[in-house]
Structure 1
C-alpha cells in the first residue's frame, strides 16, 4: 500500500472541472513571470527556462491541468526538494515525492478528470491528516 503527504499551494479552489491535459516525463520548466519576480528579491534569480532533469523543480513527472481546453498553469508534479513536502510553499501546484508522482503518472492518462480535496480554508495551519491523506490512501491503496 502507498500513502504519503503532498504539498499544495494557495489555488486549490480554482481546480474545479480540471482535467489532465498533457503529461511529461522529466518535464522542462518555464516558470510564470510572477514566480520569477517573487523569487528574485529573496535570493538567486530563477531562469526563464529549465530543462528537465535532476535539478528541475518539477521533479520526475508532471501532469498539466487543463480547464475548458486551456492550460491552467497548475500541475501535479514531483520535486527536486523533497524536504518541502508537507509545507504550503507552492504557487498553486500540487507537489509530490518523485516515487509517488511516478506511480500516479502511470495511472492517470490524459483526459482524466482531476478532483482535489483538501483542508479548505484551513490550508497552511493543518496538515493533510484531516482529509487529504484519505484521498491519497484511496489513490495509492492502504488503510
Structure 2
C-alpha cells in the first residue's frame, strides 16, 4: 500500500511526515529548506510509493485564511504542474506548532533541543498527518 506524506509548508523550511506502508503510523521524516522542497519530493516519489500529499492549511481563529496562504497557493500550483497525478488534500493546521512544542515538553526534551525550529516543523507535519489519519 502506498504511503501518505504530510507537509507543514513554511517560508524558510518545510516539515515532512509520512505514514508507514500500511497507513497506520505517522512519523516525522525530516525538515527541508523550502527552496529545496520540489527536488526532495521528486526524489522521494521516485524512491517510495506515495498516493497522497497532505498540506497544512493555516487559518486564523475565525477560520479565515492566514497571510501565508498566498505562498502555499503558489506552491500548490507548482506542485500540481510537476506532479499532476498526485492527490493533494488540505488539513487544518491551527495549533499544530503549539501542540508540537507541548509534545516536546511532555516527552522530556531538553530546552536547547526545543529551540530547534526544524524539529518543531517536522513534529507539526506529523500532527497534520495524525489529524488526517485519525479523523
Query: Normalised by the size of structure 2, how large is the TM-score?
Result: 0.27
Please identify which structure carries the higher strand content: 2
Please identify which structure carries the higher helix content: 2
